[in-house]
């Protein structure tokens, strides 16, 4: 069944940081690429006028990719503005007027999650939810219980099929390619299991700190910020069984099955770190125990993966900014050539950012009389030209009712169940110097398997 397109785009939080950095650039791109031509209504409590919203949009584009004058003129013409408090029924009455003839609006809640409930109910009371869709931003809850509560709140107003939970990582070209590569090639499937895979490492490194957002980070930490969502989604795409189709239901069913097989984290399988200097950031407590780094080991209890450790490492103030997956294969069974080095070479590497690369590590013979070899990589480099940004892709999908890249309620809850036991101060953080790969204690998470690949 083909979904029906939304006929108006409403974004709450029009004066906010996310709108500035991501939403205006995505809207301009959608106008330019796809000829988006529906009312675009910004809602905020800032007391702005429509002209101030247009100025904000221009400023946003100037700082985030550039202004395309023709597309911007179109955006300006499509823009409307509704001002008001999100707890005040008048705001929604005014929105209803601004929506005019719209029968199927898409509402984007680019606001703090504490406001999702009041806004959803305000929309319903003003009759703005019939046939509507809603996009909600991360973080989706702080733990399993709050995610369940948030789902209940949204379900009071919207059916699950109308709720689009954004994880912008799923909109990335490289992450989609991971899924494609796995299931479009027959050579992987025979080895993609415990018989041939020794271990898997997922790394997400940033070489910067909290960039003035210390107060925000104090409420979050690395597990909530990137592990529960982005990195567990990557793990699901890597480890799940083949979905029966590419529709959203099949994808989510395959992911859910995988998440349910991942053992909830045991405190002994995780090391939390904090970079030296974090406690001096504005908005950060002098005795903060919030992690800015995490190294952890997951166990996937399926026939395919039993006994294969999945390692995740993520953090701030690390030596580089890069995201990568490495799947290490078991070494050849016999020591004919230089076996001691075989574990270095037999692997698949998926570089997700900054560049998109898929490569296979292999050993080849060095020219000469002896049977000695060297490690090489067979590399497929993906040329990113003018692909859609994750936000352009995801907003466009939501407008078309395509749920494939959005996270379903049960999948979100299943992912929280994995990290729930280690949220909070299970153990004190270990400190690390900025520019290093986290605290020394992280080494104890990997025993054997060649250690962490930096």
Do the annotations mark residue 255 as ligand-binding?
A: no
Give the interface segment with ligand NDP, choosing from 33-41, 105-113, 312-320, 348-356 (CB under 6 A): 105-113
Q: Say if residue 138 carries a ligand binding annotation.
A: yes
CB 183, CB 244: distance < 8 Å: no
Selected from 111, 197, 295, 300, the binder of ligand NDP by CB under 6 A is: 111
DSSP H or E stretch at residue 299: strand 293-299
CB of 436 to ligand NDP, least distance (A): 26
- Told to check if 137 binds ligand NDP by CB under 6 A, we report yes
Q: Are 41 and 99 in contact (CB under 8 A)?
A: yes
Q: Which residue has the tokens 């709050």?
A: 146
Strands (E), 37-91: 40-44, 79-83
Under DSSP, is residue 16 helix (H, G, I), strand (E, B) or coil?
coil
Q: Contact with ligand NDP (CB under 6 A): which of 66, 112, 354, 451?
A: 112
Q: Say how far apart CA 75 and CA 454 lie, in whole Å.
A: 44
Would you say 225 is a known binding-site residue? Answer: yes
Q: C-beta of 444: minimal distance to ligand NDP in Å?
A: 32
Applying the rule CB under 6 A, the residues between 420 and 449 that interact with ligand NDP are: none
- Of the pair 137, 420, the CB lying nearest ligand NDP is at 137
Bridge partners for 432 per DSSP: 275
Q: What is the C-alpha separation between 135 and 164, in angstroms, rounded? A: 5
| Cβ-based nearer residue to ligand NDP, 80 or 138 | 138
Strands of the sheet containing 163-165, edge to edge, are 79-83, 40-44, 8-12, 105-109, 133-136, 163-165
Minimum Å gap between C-beta 125 and ligand NDP is 17
172 marked ligand binding residue: yes
Please state whether beta strands 322-329 and 309-315 pair in parallel, antiparallel, or not at all (unpaired).
Answer: unpaired
179 binds ligand NDP (CB under 6 A): no
Q: Which is nearer to ligand NDP, 15 or 60 (CB)?
A: 15
Q: How many residues does the chain have?
A: 454
392 is in an annotated binding site: no
Quick check: helix, strand or coil at residue 339? Answer: helix
The residue with its CB nearest to ligand NDP is 16
Q: Which of 3, 5, 17, 425 binds ligand NDP (CB under 6 A)?
A: 17
- From 63, 121, 155, 230, the catalytic residue: 230
Question: Cβ closer to ligand NDP: 12 or 311?
Answer: 12
45 is in an annotated binding site: yes
Rounded to a whole number of angstroms, the minimum distance from the CB of residue 20 to ligand NDP is: 7
Question: 211 or 246: whose CB is closer to ligand NDP?
Answer: 211
Could you tell me the sign of the dihedral formed by the alpha carbons of 154, 155, 158, 163, in that order?
positive
**Residue 115 touches ligand NDP, criterion: CB under 6 A:** yes
DSSP 21: I
Count of other CB atoms within 10 angstroms of residue 167? 24
Q: Which helix (H) or strand (E) holds 53?
A: helix 50-63
113 makes contact with ligand NDP (CB under 6 A):
yes
In whole angstroms, the minimum distance from the beta carbon of 111 to ligand NDP comes to: 4
Can residue 18 be called a binding residue for ligand NDP (CB under 6 A)? yes
Helices 50-63 + 69-78 axis angle, to 10: 150
Nearest to ligand NDP of 139, 373 (CB atom): 139
For residue 21, state whether it binds ligand NDP (rule: CB under 6 A): yes
- For the question of residue 230 being annotated catalytic, the response is yes
User: What are the tokens at 199?
Assistant: 């271990």
β-pair partners for 140: none
* DSSP, res 222: H
Q: State which residue, 110 or 265, has the beta carbon closest to ligand NDP.
A: 110
* Residue among 407, 194, 190, 143 at smallest CA distance from 300: 194
Annotated binding residue at 168? Answer: yes
Which one of residues 7, 16, 373, 443 is an interface residue with ligand NDP (CB under 6 A)? 16
Contacts of residue 262, defined as CB under 8 A and 6 or more positions apart, other chains included, come to 232, 235, 298, 299, 300, 301, 418
What is the C-alpha to C-alpha distance for residues 58 and 20, in angstroms, rounded to an integer? 10
Q: Which of residues 41-100 bind ligand NDP (CB under 6 A)?
A: 44-46, 86
> Is residue 13 close enough to count as binding ligand NDP by CB under 6 A?
yes
Binding ligand NDP by CB under 6 A: which of 107, 138, 230, 388?
138
Span near ligand NDP by CB under 6 A; candidates 10-18, 60-68, 353-361, 403-411? 10-18
List CB contacts of 185: < 8 A, sequence separation 6 or more. none
Q: Which residue has the tokens 């592990």?
A: 227
Q: Using the rule CB under 6 A, give the single segment among 11-19, 152-160, 251-259, 292-300 that binds ligand NDP.
A: 11-19
- Which residues participate in the annotated binding site for NADP(+)? 45, 138
Active site residues: 230
Point out which residues bind ligand NDP (CB under 6 A).
13, 15-18, 21, 44-46, 86, 110-113, 115, 137-139
């Amino acid at each position: 069944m083909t979904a029906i397109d939304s006929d108006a785009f409403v974004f709450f939080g029009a004066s906010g940081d996310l709108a500035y950095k991501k939403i205006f650039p995505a809207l301009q791109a959608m106008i330019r690429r796809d000829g988006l031509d529906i009312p675009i209504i910004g809602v905020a409590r800032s007391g702005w006028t429509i002209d101030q919203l247009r100025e904000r949009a221009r400023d946003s584009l100037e700082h985030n990719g550039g202004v395309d004058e023709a597309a911007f003129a179109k955006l300006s013409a499509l823009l409307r503005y509704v001002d008001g408090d999100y707890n005040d029924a008048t705001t929604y009455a005014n929105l209803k007027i601004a929506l005019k003839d719209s029968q199927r609006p898409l509402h984007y809640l680019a606001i703090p999650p504490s406001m999702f409930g009041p806004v959803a109910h305000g929309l319903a009371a003003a009759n703005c939810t019939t046939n509507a869709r809603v996009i909600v931003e991360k973080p989706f809850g702080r733990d399993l219980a709050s995610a369940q509560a948030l789902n209940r709140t949204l379900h009071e107003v919207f059916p699950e099929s109308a709720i689009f939970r954004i994880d912008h990582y799923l909109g990335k070209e490289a992450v989609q390619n991971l899924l494609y590569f796995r299931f479009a090639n027959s050579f992987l499937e025979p080895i993609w299991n415990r018989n041939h895979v020794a271990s898997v490492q997922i790394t997400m490194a940033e070489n910067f700190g909290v960039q003035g957002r210390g107060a925000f980070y104090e409420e979050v930490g690395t597990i909530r910020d990137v592990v529960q969502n982005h990195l567990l989604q990557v793990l699901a795409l890597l480890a799940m069984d083949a979905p029966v189709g590419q529709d959203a239901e099949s994808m989510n069913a395959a992911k859910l099955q995988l998440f349910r097989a991942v053992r909830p984290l045991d405190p002994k399988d995780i090391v939390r770190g904090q970079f030296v200097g974090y406690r001096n950031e504005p908005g950060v407590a002098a005795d903060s125990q919030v992690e800015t780094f995490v190294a952890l080991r997951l166990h996937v209890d399926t026939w395919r993966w039993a006994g294969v450790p999945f390692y995740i490492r993520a953090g701030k103030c690390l030596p580089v900014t890069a995201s990568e997956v490495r799947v290490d294969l078991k070494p050849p069974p016999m020591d004919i050539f230089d076996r001691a080095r075989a574990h270095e070479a037999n692997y698949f590497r998926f570089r997700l950012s900054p560049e998109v690369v898929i490569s296979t590590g292999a050993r080849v013979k060095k020219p000469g009389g002896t049977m000695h070899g060297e490690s090489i990589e067979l590399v497929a480099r993906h040329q990113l030209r003018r692909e859609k940004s994750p936000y352009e892709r995801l907003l466009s999908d939501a407008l078309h009712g395509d749920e494939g890249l959005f996270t379903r309620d049960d999948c979100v809850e299943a992912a929280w169940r994995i990290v729930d036991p280690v949220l909070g101060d299970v153990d004190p953080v270990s400190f690390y110097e900025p520019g290093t790969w986290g605290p020394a204690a992280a080494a104890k998470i990997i025993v054997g398997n060649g250690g962490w690949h930096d």
